[in-house]
Amino acid sequence: MNQGEKLIVVRNFLDKVKMPGVCDFVVLASDDVQVIINIDLEWMQRTSGRPDLIAKGMRSWLKNKIDDYLGMDLYVGSTGVEKCN
């Protein structure tokens, strides 16, 4: 599967994924396909936990789901955004 096909498959998969506190996902293509989770900072502040551990859990969960369903070992990162659209 070439990189363009991977992008399409990953984007279609992410369209079906629902995670609390997530504004959206960004799929990047550099050397390989990467996924960035945009996390709502207001939601993060309302949660009762350490933000770094919550974000790490979200990244880990998504990475495992992508591997389980698509068989792809991708980089999954995250960043916080002020406002969800």
Distance of CA 14 to the CA centre of its chain: 8
Task: Convert 21-37 to b/e letters by CB count within 10 Å (16 or more is b).
Answer: bbbebebeeeeebebbb
Q: Is 66 exposed, middle or buried (0-12, 13-18, 19+ CB in 10 A)?
A: buried
pLDDT band at 2 (very low <50, low <70, confident <90, very high): confident
The full set of domains in the chain, from first to last, is: 3-81 (3.30.300)
Global pTM value: 0.91
pLDDT, tens digit, for every residue of 13-67? 999 999 999 999 999 988 889 999 999 999 998 988 899 999 999 999 999 999 9
Question: With 80 as the cut, is the pLDDT of residue 85 above it?
Answer: no
Model pLDDT for residues 74-84, shown as the tens digit of each residue: 999 999 998 88
Name the one residue in this structure whose structure tokens are 């504004």.
23
CA 21, CA 79: separation in Å to the nearest integer? 12
